[in-house]
Structure formats: structure tokens, C-alpha cells
């Protein structure tokens, strides 16, 4: 009977499987982190983004910026890229007090102050670190509805800002095809009712609570959940700047 250890939080737990259930262990191919420092690669991504003007151009005349960051359930190397991003915003003329780091908790629990500080990394004094609270309807801004009928209400901090930066990591998602990007906006900083409405697009419409056949990992074409998330993100009154990481199985930034 093989003895395995599965990750559980920051620890591991022993798991024993009968021999009849055990076919073997698949090990990921580990890619080495590039030799160029992470901070320099992030700087290059801010200066030469794909499909967007450089961050420096977007922040001209900006008086307030909101940086949306995944919560603790979605590791994206936040502590490595958030400080670089905030330093660039400050270098462009924004005072730290005019920068908000908003953690996209969706329907998950909030963080402790220590957890927020650890995820945000080393930041200048004055930068506001806050959790999204999707249960607070007064903190939401109504942006209308998606083609699928989901009412889009999101955190005011992500709407009432001059510059919105969405961050995350490129990874498979079991329903949306891929995570990151538009998911950081909705359901990431959406009202709980919006989160539920958007997730209804994952059902096949038969009334039997079965998953839509196109809601699969790595599948975007014909995926109704992906389409609803894109439609929700398109409701943002300011065009977001997107910063995504790609991570190795060990969490190294590739």
C-alpha cells in the first residue's frame, strides 16, 4: 500500500491508497526560473504589454489607482509583483495614499492583516490594503446586466478609480477554461449575488444541475461561463491594465 503526502494548506497530510487503486505517480516537469531577475521581467511587462499601451502612458493624469490582487486561495506570486507595480505607480507621480490594493476574495473569507501584508510584499507607507466584501451591497456599484442576465455589481473601489489594474496568474480553471484576467474582476470583486448569477452559466440548462459540456479546463470556445465573465469585465467603466504571471509547479515566476 503506497504512502503518499498531499498538500493541505502550508502543510501535507498522509494518504494511503490500496494497491488496486494506485497506478503510479505523475511528476510535473520542473522548469527553471529564468536567470533574469523577476523584478526586471515585471518591469519589462509593464513597459511592453501585449495588446495594451504601456502602464506609464495609462497613468498619465491619474489621481487614484486600484490594484486588484488574488486572495490567498489563488497564489500568483503577489508578493513579488505588487511591490514592483506600486513603485512604478509612485514613480509616475501617484502618492502612496492614492493607491489601493484590493484583494479579490469573491465569496471567500477575508484575510488577517498579517496575511494581507505578506501577500502585498514590501510597500511604501500609506498604500491601502483592503479585502473585498461581497456581502456588503452598499459597497457595490451596479453596472447593468450581462447577455445571460447576470446583474453585474462590483466593489466601488474597482469602479470609482482613474486606473484599474487587474492581476493574477495564467492557470487552468475547471469551469472557466483559464483563471486570472476577467475572473479577478468578476467574480473576484463582485457582489455575492453577482457571483452566483455568473456561475449559473456553468449549468447545462436542463434543470438537473449538470455542468455545461463546454465548461472545461483549457476550453474557451463555446464556454458560456467564460463568455459571461468577459461580458461582466467589459462593464468596467475604465479599461483595465492586465498583469499576469506564469508559475512553475514550485511557484517560480517563469
For residue 29, what pLDDT is reported?
Answer: 80
Per-residue model confidence as pLDDT tens digits over 201-254: 999 988 888 999 999 999 999 999 999 999 999 999 999 999 999 998 888 898
Per-residue model confidence as pLDDT tens digits over 87-112: 999 999 999 999 999 999 999 999 99
Per-residue model confidence as pLDDT tens digits over 181-212: 999 999 999 999 999 999 999 999 888 889 99
DSSP label of 158 = G
Annotate 16-39 with b (16+ C-beta within 10 A) or e (fewer).
Answer: eeeeeeeeeeeeeeeeebeeeebe
Interstrand relation of 172-173 and 3-8 (parallel, antiparallel or unpaired): unpaired
For residue 1, what pLDDT is reported?
Answer: 58
Give me the mean pLDDT over the 172-180 stretch: 94
Q: Which residues contact 101 (CB under 8 A, 6 or more apart)?
A: 67, 69, 82, 86, 116, 120, 123, 127, 128, 129, 130
Q: Which helix (H) or strand (E) holds 164?
A: strand 163-169
Q: Which residues contact 93 (CB under 8 A, 6 or more apart)?
A: 59, 62
Per-residue model confidence as pLDDT tens digits over 25-57: 888 887 788 899 999 999 999 999 998 999 999
- Report how far residue 90's alpha carbon sits from residue 56's, in angstroms, rounded to the nearest whole number: 11
Amino acid at each position: 500500500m503506497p504512502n503518499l503526502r498531499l498538500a493541505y494548506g502550508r502543510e501535507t497530510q498522509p494518504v494511503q491508497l490500496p494497491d488496486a487503486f494506485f497506478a503510479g505517480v505523475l511528476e510535473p516537469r520542473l522548469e527553471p526560473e529564468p536567470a533574469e531577475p523577476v523584478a526586471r521581467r515585471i518591469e519589462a511587462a509593464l513597459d511592453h504589454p501585449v495588446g495594451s499601451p504601456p502602464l506609464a502612458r495609462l497613468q498619465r493624469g491619474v489621481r487614484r489607482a486600484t490594484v486588484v490582487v488574488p486572495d490567498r486561495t489563488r497564489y500568483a506570486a503577489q508578493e513579488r509583483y505588487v511591490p514592483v507595480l506600486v513603485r512604478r505607480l509612485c514613480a509616475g507621480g501617484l502618492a502612496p495614499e492614492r493607491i489601493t490594493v484590493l484583494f479579490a476574495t469573491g465569496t471567500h473569507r477575508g484575510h488577517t492583516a498579517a496575511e494581507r501584508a505578506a501577500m502585498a510584499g514590501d510597500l511604501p507607507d500609506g498604500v491601502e490594503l483592503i479585502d473585498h466584501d461581497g456581502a456588503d451591497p452598499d459597497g457595490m456599484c451596479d453596472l447593468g446586466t450581462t447577455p445571460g442576465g447576470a446583474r453585474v455589481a462590483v466593489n466601488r473601489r474597482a469602479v470609482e478609480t482613474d486606473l484599474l489594474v487587474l492581476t493574477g496568474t495564467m492557470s487552468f480553471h475547471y469551469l472557466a477554461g483559464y483563471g486570472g484576467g476577467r475572473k479577478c474582476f468578476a467574480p473576484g470583486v463582485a457582489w455575492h449575488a453577482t457571483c452566483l448569477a455568473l456561475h449559473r452559466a456553468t449549468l447545462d440548462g436542463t434543470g438537473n444541475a449538470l455542468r455545461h459540456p463546454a465548461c472545461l479546463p483549457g476550453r474557451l470556445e463555446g464556454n458560456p461561463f467564460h463568455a459571461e465573465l468577459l461580458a461582466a469585465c467589459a462593464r468596467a467603466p475604465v479599461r483595465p491594465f492586465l498583469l499576469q504571471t506564469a508559475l512553475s509547479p514550485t511557484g517560480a515566476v517563469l
